[in-house]
């Protein structure tokens, strides 16, 4: 059984300056992680097994969980692996700066994703009730409206980049309607949400920008309540205070937009690089939900999920995990773990046990909404653009990754006008 190399008895625990990626530890950020995250996961699995020591932005130490069963053990056992980062040892002992971009993803906030037990149930209940209300008010109508509007902007050109001109922006437009925001705020919010997840020096500024827009929204809705998600949160019987309302607006906005836009781009990529799938969808013989399911296994929108914190010293995947250690969950790696999928070529059709929506108490409560957005968006696109096809060879499509996600860069297409 091995300790984290930065947590061993003779090493200063998690000292970022002294080690700086030296020690042979793998960084989950930087040039290699941006271009070859899958290569990194495969190498780490080979070298360390189902759990590997890694460095996150700022060379902060963490464990990357690569095994499917180990991911499920962590996610399904909040008593051993808490979501509440206030027990994170490197942060408590002052080795992680409060202004670090990492804190945008891992740091504590008064929202449901940062809590466990009863406080989590109370806050998640408020979010869930309001997401159900959103779903029952006809989310597909909003998607159809904005999808058509987006397509109108490029339909005459006969060509488009479906990442920049469709997938990157559509879910946020739908969210502006759901939240009660002006449509014009959508682009700024989409850009800022992407930057928060990407990390880097600008992440904090972009988070502030999001909080300012949402703060103004909350103030307006206090004076003029409506039938929207924001008003619903404020009036919920769980009695959220102002900070809790704001933090949940932020959480839902970022969680819903970045994942759904990434997933939409990947679904379109899969459809357009395989003419059998494309013609199956156009003729109605193939259901889009089957394609979405396939992508959930192969390229889940969140490749690595932040984060869980060990509540005691324990063993996981042959490694000694110490109380207060940070663990991040390799959802992409877990989905292709040879222990559960010795042959990744075998179809996963009808099997929904992928890790893309996480599992346990924090499993995504917005998955039906995300899937409804994607299904409607693909449907509208295929009906509006006859003869839709990829404008480049499939192998020319590239993606760029941060620690948490790998996003398709461009999806150039052509169609009949
Ligand atoms: C379709 C693409 C989506 C994917 C792949 C996805 C993925 C995830 C994952 C992996 C988590 C778990 C976080 C954890 O365990 O720490 C999560 C949580 C969450 N998601 Fe999603 N999500 C998607 C869409 C959405 C949408 C559309 C919404 C809202 C409209 C949403 C709202 C949330 C919220 C509020 C949480 C926190 C739940 C909690 O902590 O109890 N997600 N999502």
Give 102-170 as a DSSP string: THHHHS--SSGGG--HHHHHHHHHHHHHHHHHHHHTTHHHHHHHHHHHHHHHHTTTSEEETIIIIITTH
pLDDT at 348: 87
- Could you tell me the sign of the dihedral formed by the alpha carbons of 334, 23, 85, 311, in that order? positive
Cβ density class 280-311: b for 16+ within 10 Å, e for less? bbeeeebebeebbbbbbbbbbbbbbbbbbbbb
- Taking the centre of ligand 1 as the mean of its atom positions, its distance from the CA of residue 261, in whole angstroms, is 13
pLDDT at 16: 32
86 phi/psi in degrees, rounded to 5: -70, -10
Atom of ligand 1 nearest to the CA of 178: 30
**CATH at residue 93:** 1.10.630.10
pLDDT at 11: 37
- Pairing, β 314-316 against β 26-27: unpaired
Query: What is the C-alpha to C-alpha distance for residues 177 and 193, in angstroms, rounded to an integer?
Result: 17
Residue nearest to atom 41 of ligand 1 (CA): 362
Containing domain of residue 409, as a range? 2-414
pLDDT at 20: 36
H or E segment to which residue 329 belongs: strand 326-330
- Taking the centre of ligand 1 as the mean of its atom positions, its distance from the CA of residue 331, in whole angstroms, is 13
pLDDT at 136: 87
Query: What is the C-alpha to C-alpha distance for residues 161 and 369, in angstroms, rounded to an integer?
Result: 25
Cβ density class 197-233: b for 16+ within 10 Å, e for less? bbbeeebbebbebbeebbeebbeebeeeeeebbbbbb
Query: What is the C-alpha to C-alpha distance for residues 383 and 284, in angstroms, rounded to an integer?
Result: 11
Query: What is the C-alpha to C-alpha distance for residues 357 and 361, in angstroms, rounded to an integer?
Result: 11
Protein residues whose CB sits closer than 6 Å to any atom of ligand 1: 83, 112-113, 124, 127, 131, 251-252, 255-256, 259-260, 263, 301-302, 305, 356-358, 362, 364-367, 369-370
Question: Rounded to an integer, what is the distance from CA 356 to the centroid of its chain?
Answer: 9
pTM of the entire structure? Answer: 0.94
- Pocket probe mutation, ligand 1, options 259, 328, 331, max atoms within 8 Å of Cβ: 259
For the record, the structure tokens of 104 come out as 């945008």
In 1-137 the beta strands, taken as DSSP E runs, fall at: 2-3, 26-27, 51-56, 60-65, 81-82
Q: How many domains does the chain have?
A: 1
Place of tokens 């297409």: 413
pLDDT averages per 10-residue partition of the chain, 417 residues: 64 34 83 95 97 97 98 98 98 94 94 98 98 91 97 98 97 96 94 92 93 98 96 98 98 96 98 94 92 96 97 98 98 97 90 96 97 97 95 97 96 96
Model confidence pLDDT, tens digit, residues 144-176: 999 999 999 999 999 999 999 999 999 999 999
Strands across the sheet containing 319-321 = 2-3, 319-321, 314-316
pLDDT at 15: 34
Closest CA to 257 of 379, 167, 163: 167
Question: Rounded to an integer, what is the distance from CA 316 to the centroid of its chain?
Answer: 24
- Pocket probe mutation, ligand 1, options 244, 307, 364, 406, max atoms within 8 Å of Cβ: 364
Query: What is the C-alpha to C-alpha distance for residues 331 and 358, in angstroms, rounded to an integer?
Result: 8
Number of H helices, E strands in the chain: 17, 14
- Pocket probe mutation, ligand 1, options 174, 294, 366, 377, max atoms within 8 Å of Cβ: 366
Report yes or no: 114 and 91 within 8 Å, Cβ to Cβ.
no
Residue nearest to atom 7 of ligand 1 (CA): 357
- Taking the centre of ligand 1 as the mean of its atom positions, its distance from the CA of residue 124, in whole angstroms, is 11
- Taking the centre of ligand 1 as the mean of its atom positions, its distance from the CA of residue 274, in whole angstroms, is 29
């Amino acid at each position: 059984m091995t300790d984290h190399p930065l947590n061993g008895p003779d090493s200063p625990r998690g000292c970022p300056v002294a080690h700086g990626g030296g020690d042979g530890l793998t960084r989950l950020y930087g040039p290699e992680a941006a271009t070859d995250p899958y290569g990194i996961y495969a190498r780490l699995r080979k070298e360390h097994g189902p759990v590997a020591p890694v460095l996150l932005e700022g060379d902060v130490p963490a464990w990357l969980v690569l095994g499917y069963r180990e991911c499920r053990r962590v996610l399904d056992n909040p008593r051993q692996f808490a979501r509440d980062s206030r027990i994170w040892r490197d942060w408590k002992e002052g080795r992680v700066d409060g202004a670090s971009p990492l804190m945008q993803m891992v740091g504590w906030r008064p929202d449901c994703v940062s809590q466990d037990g009863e406080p989590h149930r109370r806050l998640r209940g408020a979010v869930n009730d309001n997401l159900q209300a959103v779903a029952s008010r006809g989310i597909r109508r909003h998607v159809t409206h904005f999808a058509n509007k987006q397509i109108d902007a490029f339909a005459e050109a006969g060509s488009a980049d479906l990442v920049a001109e469709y997938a990157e922006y559509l879910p946020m437009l739908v969210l502006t309607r759901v939240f009660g925001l002006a449509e014009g705020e959508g682009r700024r919010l989409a850009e800022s949400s992407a930057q928060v997840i990407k990390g880097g020096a600008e992440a904090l500024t972009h988070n502030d920008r999001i909080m300012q827009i949402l703060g103004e929204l909350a103030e307006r809705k206090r004076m003029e309540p409506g039938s929207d998600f924001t008003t619903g949160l404020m009036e919920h019987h769980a009695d959220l205070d102002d900070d809790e309302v704001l933090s949940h607006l932020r959480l839902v906005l970022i969680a819903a937009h970045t994942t759904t836009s990434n997933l939409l781009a990947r679904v379109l990529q899969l459809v357009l690089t395989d003419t059998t799938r494309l013609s199956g969808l156009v003729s109605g013989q193939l259901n889009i939900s089957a394609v979405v399911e396939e992508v959930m296994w192969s390229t889940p929108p969140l490749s690595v999920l932040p984060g869980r914190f060990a509540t005691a010293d324990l063993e996981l995947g042959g490694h000694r995990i110490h109380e207060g250690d940070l663990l991040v969950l390799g959802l992409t790696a877990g989905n292709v773990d040879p222990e559960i999928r010795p042959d990744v070529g075998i179809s996963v059709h009808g099997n929904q046990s992928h890790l893309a929506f996480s599992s346990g108490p924090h499993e995504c409560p917005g998955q039906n909404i995300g899937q409804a957005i994607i299904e409607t968006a693909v449907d509208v696109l295929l009906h509006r653009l006859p003869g839709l096809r990829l404008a480049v060879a499939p192998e020319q499509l590239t993606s760029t990754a941060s620690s948490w996600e790998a996003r398709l860069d461009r999806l150039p297409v052509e169609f009949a006008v």
